[in-house]
Structures are given as structure tokens and as C-alpha cells.
Amino acid sequence: MKLLVLLAILLLIIAGHQLLRIIELSRGLKKTKEWQLTNSDNNAMGRGMLIFMICFFSFFFWQVYRWKDRALPSSASEHGFKIDWLWDVNMNFIVIPVFLLTNFFLFWFAYKYRGNTNNKATFFAHSNKLEMLWTIIPAVALTFIIIFGLKYWNEIMDDAKDPNKVTIELYAKQFDWSARYTGKDGKLGTTDYRQIDGSNSVGLDTNDVLCNDDIIVKNEFHIPVNREVELLMRSRDVIHSAYLPHFRAQMNCVPGLVTAFKFKPVKTTDEMRKDPYVIQMMDGINKQREKFGKEPVIFDYLLLCNKICGASHFSMQMNIIVESEKDYNEWLAKQKPFKAVASK
Amino acid sequence: MGTKHTATALEHEHATHHDHAHDHDEHHETFVSKYIFSMDHKMISRQFLITAIIMACVAMTMSVIFRMQLAWPGEKFAFVNALLGDKWAKDGILDPNMYLALVTIHGTIMVFMVLTGGLSGTFANLLIPYQVGARDMASGFLNMLSYWFFFVSSAIMLASCFIEDGPASGGWTIYPPLSALPQAMPGSKLGMTMWLISMAIFIVSSLLGGLNYIITVINLRTKGMKMTRMPLTVWAFLITAILGVLSFPVLFSCALLLIFDRSMGTSFYLSDIYIGGRPLDNVGGSPILFEHLFWFLGHPEVYIVLLPALGITSEVISTMSRKPIFGYRAMIGSMLAIGFLSFIVWGHHMYMTGMNPFLGSVFVFTTLLIAIPSAVKAFNYITTLWKGNVQYTPAMMFSIGLVSSFISGGVTGIILADSALDINVHDTYFVVAHFHIVMGLSAIFGMFAGVYHWFPKMFLRMMNKKLGYLHFWITFVCAYGVFFPQHFLGLAGVPRRYYTNSNFPMFDNLVDINEICTIFAIMGALGQVVFLFNFFYSIFRGEKAPQNPWNSNTLEWTTPVANIHGNWPGKLPEVHRWAYDYSKPGQEHDFVPQTVPLADGEHDGGEH
């Protein structure tokens, strides 16, 4: 088999070599050189540019249409609606029109002004008016983007001030997450990374009594709907990033620092499972899973790691359950506080 | 060419000099001094180009391997096993550590070895002395060192792929603590050390080259070559070199502190870490410091990659449209503005790192400002085409490809620069799509345009036009085919650098998008064989180049068709006008070389 492949390659090389000889010999007979452009070259390539544009734009719209049920569902958090709105305005009124228009002019001119021996280009070296025009228009558009962008940014990144907030600490390590709740006292205990061991996986300071009632959970964590959630983030080893795409929330977890992000979930997990868009999206997922031979799944909010953190970066995630205040409290009551777990 | 006249007055003038040329050229050169330790800018340029092409092939092969993993996770590929061996691809299934290593080394090679060293090294070396009318670089010796440091750096980077624990694999941005702690991943052992050594040597190469470029442009311009008469290529190389000289030392200090943290027990970037079953002593450092230092280089780096490509395109679009570049001064102004702004926008890579959000606001503002000069450049290119007489050489095709990808990738930058919108697409495939289109495609297209356009000056022969067309269409279609769909992966929230997206159900519906990307990537990679064949074949057997094949105005086309020391036999040419007098009314030909004196009452610089 290998011999045959080798033989085939050898034959190809010989054939190629002979072909090149013929081309090289025939070169001398022609008046124009191969590299010189002819009108038909320019015509072909100019038209090629136009055809490319049509295909390119068709490809673009095809993707938008074909993959319309692939994007993340609309926001499940309050601030996320603002982000989605700003995203849509930016995309639909600035990014996509500019992309289509400028590409159109580029390829249209490339087609229309394709070279011809009878033509002569117009000597047109500059125009202050035109240049002013395309300095000022982008500047005006950018003013809008900056004003709204910064307004929302400041709101989103502000400290969590709601007195009724839920504070949860996300703790990242290679390669899993845990979440820590304040427990009855409403306060997270202090931490000390030197005390990390088998029964103290997130490094609580055992001298601090505030730690005793803290609740640590793995694999999934619950949050109540319509209450502000303040996430505090720590990391044990390398940089991770807590990415909660459905809530439009993300923040890096940096060793040595405590970072924060706040959001207010507005849809419970059950509500999301009944959302028509989510149903359609899950259909797509389950169809593909059938092809893989995997069992079908239902929708769940997810916390992902979004900063390269090592070999199993791709598998570092945790489920999030958003539920009513009542369900949340019931779930929380069932969890064991740190002291009870540690003293076992 | 569409225009029929090939012979110019200059050609006649220089024909008489050819005899003198031999006198100059006949001092004895050994193989070593001519081809290896050469101090001639033209030879150094060719050395850079061929090294960069080899590195690009390596990086491209890596990308094909990890793209196949993403499209068909868990499939067995005999060829992956053949390339990586049983350790990294048992039965042809890629190892997760090797996946990260490939991603890392692909990024590093592409950004530094190909698009910084390769692009600037090739064309700044070739074109600066030629286009400003200098005999050579200010220091031929430093220029030679610049190449050899680059070579050693590339060699170390390649060698690091063959060590036991594998090469660096913390991503091309090598954020600590991941890159600082050997316990964190195998790639952070010897591989990371070699990465840092390679990069330190690369920085030396870049600085030696950059200083040379700056000094040559400032001091060695020929008579009449005012700054405002320089071709935009030279302007682009000058600004690029300044950016490099100002920012690479910061990367060096950044890498140096990382070396200290890794091997000398310091804590610049480390604090409160428990890894490998024990707490570390390091306290008080911060990885955020690393990110600031890294991106202080990292963002200007984007423009170090892009500006030379834009410079090359400016020259090619103007020449091939047979029209002056539109808004010559605005082009210089916007390049200067981009260069300046690129130093105060680095924080937009760090919106989500825990940096103070107020700082983020400042970076939103400065980052979005860059959109203005960028828009001016794009519109000026398009206006240059308007009412032109566009000659479709392969170089021109790639230049139009560049403008298209510069627009398509640039517009999504508006989204990413906006911190509020960045929250949800930060570090997703939306970013991957954005920077590959705006930086990868544009810069690579610019490099191809340069190779096709100046091949006759580099190798004194012509490349094959039809193969050039074929290469262009395959590359252009496939490049968009690979990266455009990745926007949609980003919209679905797919994080970067995931070994597989099928480990949990969330992204299972995106398998076909990944397949499309990968199929285009494989076709695009195979398409480069057309280029490689055309390139190497034409070096030896291409048609002989005439003196000025593209009827261009700039000085390099007034040199004889030979690689001689000193570039011009006899006296250096004198410059009388700017470089863009194409199709000027009242002129006999549709181009007027820079060496032709202004007629009575004729204006320079686009007035007529």
C-alpha cells in the first residue's frame, strides 16, 4: 500500500515536471509575457470581485438565518436586558450596515473600475470635504456608543447595594467550582489559603467563628429569583473566569484577589425551560445528541470557566438553579454548614 | 499591464550604468558571506521571508490539527498520530495538553515570528533603503544580527515542541500563575522556559531591526526625499518601528519578572496560591500586574502587525488603480494617530480581569477613538479605487482582500471595545473571529500582496499570475469561511481554548458550525501549496523580470535588475516629486517616477 502511494507521488512529480517543461517551452512563442495583464484578466477578476461580494453577502445572511436558534436565549438577568438592547442597537444600526455598505462600495468599485487599456484613471488626490465627512460621521456614531456603553457599564459594575441581596462566593480551582453561602449570620467568614486541606477545600480560616455556619456546595448552586445576587470570586491556583452567559455576567477569579459581579436573575430555571426560544434551541441540541448516541437533556443555567486554566479547562462547569424564594430557602435549609461537615 | 509602455526614460538612463554595476559588484564574496552572514539588506530581507514562510507552514499545520479536534472530537486521525506521535496523539486522538500547546505555539508563531519578524523584517528591510534612496541600512552589521537573533529565537521556539513535557501551553498571552507554576500544567515546565528565552531573543532582534529602520529613514533619505514625499510604505515601517522600540522593552521586563518568579522565588505575579497539594510561600504579587505589562506591548503589537500590511496595501492599491492614493496626508495622519492611540488602549483586554471598572471606562473611550483613523483609512482606500483603472495583479487582489477583511473585522471591534458589551463575549469565539479577521487575515493578505508585488525586486523573476489568482481565491474564500462562522459560536457563548465543546450538552447544537470552519481551514491550508509551489518555482525558473514591471513611481524600480551592493550603480537618484503621480493630467504616461523633475508650473503632492 505504502509502495503504491509512493509510486503515485513519484508519477505525479514526473507528470508535473513534464507539464512545466511544455509550459516553459511554449512561453517563448507568445508575444505577451505570462505575468502581463490583459483586458480579459482584468475583466475576469473584476467580475470575480462582484460575484464574490454576492456570495459573501449571501453567506452572511444564510448564517444569520440558519443559525438564528443557536445564539444564547435572551437575558435571564435584569441588567442583561440593557446589554442585549445596546448590543442590538449597535449591531443593527452601526456594525452590520457599515459592514455591508463599505464592503459593497469596495467590491462595486473593484468591479466597475476594472482596468482597460482604453481607460484612464481620474487624477483625484484629496478632498478636504470628503475626508471631513468620514471623520465626523464615525465620531458622531462613536459618541452614541460611548455614552450608552459607559452609562450601562457604570451601573453594572457598581457595588451591590441592595440590602436584601444574596451574597455567594464562587471558588475556582483546577478543575471545578464551589459556591459558599453566608449561612445564618449573613456573613462570609475570612479565609486563609494555608489552611486548605481535605476537609477545608476552600481555605476557610478556622479561627474565625463566622466561618462555622458557612455553607459550601459543589456541582450545582441555587439562587432565588428577583433578588440581587452578589458574586464574590476567589481562586485557589491559577486565573479562572466565572462566565454565566445566560445572565450576561463574567468576571475573572484571580489568586490573591477577591473580585465581584452582581446581577438580578429574573427567570427561574423552570420558566426558561418553557420559553419557546429555549425549547427550539434545546431541540437542536437534542437532535445532535441523538446523532452522538447520547441521552436527551433539558435546559440548565451554567457557570463556565472562561480563562485558560490547564488541561481540563474545557470541563470546568457548574449548574445553576434559579428558583422561587420559597424553594431556595428549602434547599438552603437542607445544606450542611461548614462546622458540621468539618467535624465529621 | 493595461498600459502598453514598458520602457521609461529611466530605463535608458540606467542601461548606460550597467557596465559600471559590474565593477562595483566584483569584490569577492564567499558563500557564507553572501548567503548566510550577509549584511546586505536585500539578502537579509529574503532570509526573513523564507524563515517566516517556514514558520507560517508550521503554525498553519498546527491550526489544522486543532481545528480537526474541534470539529470531530474523539475521532482518530492517522496523520495527527504521524505528526505528534503516541505520546501526544495516541491512536490519533489529540491529547488535551497538546491541544493547548498547539493553540499557544500557533498564536506565538503567527503573531511574533510571522507577522512581526516576518512581515516587518522582510519588507522594511527590502523597501526602506530602496524607497528612500539609500545604499543600505544604517548599520548592516546590526541588521545581520537582527536576522540571526530572529533565527535563533525561531529555532528555540520550534525546538521547544520536541521536549518531553511539551511546549508552552498557557495561551500565547502566557498569563501567570498558570505559566509561572510548573505544577499547574506540563507546558509550564521546560517548555515555558524555552518560550521565555525565545521571546527574549526575539525582542533583541526586533529592537536591533527597529532602531535600524528608524535611523535609516531619518538619516539616509536621498536628496529631495522629504518626509512628505516618502511612500506610505516607508511611513508605515517607520511608525511600526517606533511602536516596536517603545513597547517591546516592556514585554521584556514583563518576561524577566516572570523568569524571576519561575526560577528565583520572587512574587511579582504570585499570591495566596495552593497548588500541587501544598500552599506556596509567595504573597503580595498580582497577576494583574503581568496583564498590564503584557498588554502594554500586546496592543501596540496589533498595530505592529497591521501597519506594515496597510502600508504595503496603500502602495499597491495606488499603483494598480493608476491613481494617486486618496488623502496622502490624511493617511499619514491616521497612521500616526493609530500609533499614538495604540499605547493608551491596552486595558480593553482587561475589562473582565478584576481591574478597577473606572479604569475600564477610560479605556472604552480611548479604544473607540481608534475607530476614527481606521475608518478614514478604509474610506480612503475605497476612494482610491473610485474612477481608477484597476489592474488586477495578484498583489492587487490581495490588497482588496485586505481592505475587505480590515472592514469586516474592524466593525466588530466597536462591539468589543464597549466594555458593557464585552462582558458577555469576552474570551469567546466572537473575539477569536474578530482578531483573526482584522489582524490575521489583513496582515497575511498584506504580506502576500507584498510578496507578489515585490517578488521581481527580490528574486529578479516574475511569479506566475494565474497561480497567483488561484491562490488568492482559495485563500480569500477559505479565510472568511473559517472565521466568519466563529462570530456565531461567540454569540452562543462558546469560550476560547476549549479542547472540545461536547463535554457537556450546552454547545452540542454547534457541531456543524465547527465542521464548516474546519473544512474551510483544511481547504485553505491545502491552497497554500499553490503559493509555495509558485514561490519556490519562480525563484529559480520564473520569467525574467523587467526593470519596472508595474509601471511604478517609487525609487526601487529605478535600480537595475540585479542585486548589487549599494543598490544604484553610480550616483544615488535624486527625488523631485511625491510617489503618487499616477494618471496625472498633462503627462505622457500614466505614471511619473519620483526622479523626474517637476516641469515649469507643475505642482507636487497631488495638486495640478
- H/E/C letters for each residue in chain A? CHHHHHHHHHHHHHHHHHHHHHHHHHHCCCCCCCCCCCHHHHHHHHHHHHHHHHHHHHHHHHHHHHCCCCCCCCCCEHHHHHHHHHHHHHHHHHHHHHHHHHHHHHHHHHHHCECCCCCCCCCCCCCHHHHHHHHHHHHHHHHHHHHHHHHHHHHHHCCCCCCCCEEEEEEEECCEEEEEECCCCCCCCCECHHHCECCECCCECCCCHHHCCCEEEECEEEEECCCCEEEEEEECCCCEEEEEHHHCEEEEECCCCCEEEEECECCCHHHHHHCHHHHHHHHHHHHHHHHHCCCCCCCCEEEEECCCCCCCHHHCEEEEEEECHHHHHHHHHHCCEHHHHHCC
User: A213-238 pLDDT, tens per residue?
Assistant: 999 999 999 999 999 999 999 999 99
Please state, for a pLDDT cut of 70, what percent of chain A lies above it: 99
Mean pLDDT, rounded, for A192-212: 91
Tell me which chain B residue has its CA closest to the CA of residue A71.
B492
What is the spatial distance between Cα B21 and Cα B8, in angstroms, rounded to a whole number?
19
Which of A:76-105 have CB within 8 Å of B?
80, 82-83, 86-87, 90-91, 94-96, 98-99, 102-103, 105
Instruction: Please tell me if residue A153 touches chain B, with a CB cutoff of 8 Å.
Output: yes
CB-based contacts of A80, cutoff 8 Å, min separation 6: A74, A247, A248, A249, A263, B424
Looking at the predicted structure, is the pLDDT value of residue B349 above 50? yes
Rg, Å, chain A Cα set: 30
Which residue of B379, B455, B467 is the best one to mutate when testing the A interface, meaning the one whose CB has the most A CBs within 10 A?
A: B379
At residue B19, the pLDDT reads 43
Please state, for a pLDDT cut of 70, what percent of chain B lies above it: 95
Which of B:532-561 have CB within 8 Å of A?
537, 541, 543, 549
Q: Average pLDDT, whole number, for chain A?
A: 92
Mean pLDDT, rounded, for B242-248: 95
DSSP assignment of B439-502: IIIHHHHHHHHHHHHHHHHHHSBPPPHHHHHHHHHHHHHHHHHHHTTHHHHHHTTPBTT-S-S-
CB atoms B385 and A110 under 8 Å: yes
Of A181, A201, A170, which is closest to residue A303 (Cα–Cα)?
Answer: A170
For the entire predicted model, the pTM comes to 0.93
C-alpha B182: how far from its chain's center?
A: 31
Q: Facing residues of A259 across strands? A: A233
Mean pLDDT, rounded, for B508-518: 94
At residue B608, the pLDDT reads 67
Maximum separation of any 2 CA atoms in chain A, in Å: 95
The answer to whether B547 touches B560, Cβ cutoff 8 Å, is yes
Q: Of A99, A102, A142, which is closest to B368 when you measure between CB atoms?
A: A142
* Run of H or E residues at B275: strand B274-275
Residue bearing the bigger pLDDT, A18 or B567:
B567
CB atoms A109 and B498 under 8 Å: no
Of B453, B573, B596, which is closest to residue B131 (Cα–Cα)?
Answer: B573
Looking at the predicted structure, is the pLDDT value of residue A342 above 80? no
Candidate from A174-178, A254-258, A268-272, B36-40 with smallest mean pLDDT: B36-40
CB-based contacts of B81, cutoff 8 Å, min separation 6: B89, B90, B91, B92
Q: pLDDT grade, residue B8 (50/70/90)?
A: very low
The answer to whether B78 touches B91, Cβ cutoff 8 Å, is no
What is the spatial distance between Cα A49 and Cα B400, in angstroms, rounded to a whole number?
9
What is the spatial distance between Cα B139 and Cα A87, in angstroms, rounded to a whole number?
52
Looking at the predicted structure, is the pLDDT value of residue A341 above 80? no
At residue A340, the pLDDT reads 72
Looking at the predicted structure, is the pLDDT value of residue B356 above 80? yes
Q: pLDDT grade, residue A155 (50/70/90)?
A: very high
Which of A:8-37 have CB within 8 Å of B?
20, 24, 27, 33-37
Instruction: Please tell me if residue B236 touches chain A, with a CB cutoff of 8 Å.
Output: no
At residue B14, the pLDDT reads 44
User: A283-325 pLDDT, tens per residue?
Assistant: 999 999 999 899 999 999 999 999 999 999 999 999 999 999 9
Highest mean pLDDT among B72-81, B334-343, B559-568: B334-343
Place of cell 488561484: B470
Q: pLDDT grade, residue A18 (50/70/90)?
A: confident
CB atoms B387 and A311 under 8 Å: no
Residue bearing the bigger pLDDT, B325 or B602:
B325
At residue B9, the pLDDT reads 40
Evaluate the omega torsion of the peptide bond into residue A144 and state whether it is cis, within 30 degrees of 0: no
- The Cα of A150 is separated from the nearest Cα of chain B by a number of Å equal to 6
B288 CB neighbours in chain A (<8 A) are 254, 257
Instruction: Please tell me if residue B499 touches chain A, with a CB cutoff of 8 Å.
Output: yes
Residue bearing the bigger pLDDT, B561 or A17:
B561
φ/ψ region of A183 (left if φ > 0, alpha if ψ in -120 to 50, else beta) reads left
Nearest 10 degrees: Cα torsion B283, B285, B287, B292: 170
Q: pLDDT grade, residue B183 (50/70/90)?
A: very high
Mean pLDDT, rounded, for A268-280: 96
At residue A1, the pLDDT reads 72
Q: pLDDT grade, residue B7 (50/70/90)?
A: very low
CB atoms B508 and A248 under 8 Å: no
DSSP strand pairing (A317-323 vs A220-224): parallel
The answer to whether A173 touches A237, Cβ cutoff 8 Å, is yes
The answer to whether B465 touches A35, Cβ cutoff 8 Å, is yes
- Record the cell numbers describing residue B445, joined without a space: 493578505
* Run of H or E residues at B278: strand B278-279
3-state secondary structure of B279: strand
Looking at the predicted structure, is the pLDDT value of residue A276 above 80? yes
Evaluate the omega torsion of the peptide bond into residue B182 and state whether it is cis, within 30 degrees of 0: no
Residue bearing the bigger pLDDT, B29 or A264:
A264
Label residues B108-129 b or e (16+ Cβ within 10 Å = b). bbbbbbbbbbbbbbbbbbbbbb
CB atoms within 10 A of CB B608: 14
At residue A280, the pLDDT reads 95
Mean pLDDT, rounded, for B231-243: 96
Instruction: Please tell me if residue B134 touches chain A, with a CB cutoff of 8 Å.
Output: no
CB atoms A122 and B285 under 8 Å: no
The answer to whether B546 touches B556, Cβ cutoff 8 Å, is no
CB atoms B423 and A156 under 8 Å: yes
User: B398-443 pLDDT, tens per residue?
Assistant: 999 999 999 999 999 999 999 999 999 999 999 999 999 998 999 9
Q: Of B181, B488, B606, which is closest to A70 when you measure between CB atoms?
A: B488
Label residues B191-214 b or e (16+ Cβ within 10 Å = b). bbbbbbbbbbbbbbbbbbbbbbbb
Please state, for a pLDDT cut of 90, what percent of chain A lies above it: 75
Q: Average pLDDT, whole number, for chain B?
A: 92
At residue B27, the pLDDT reads 59
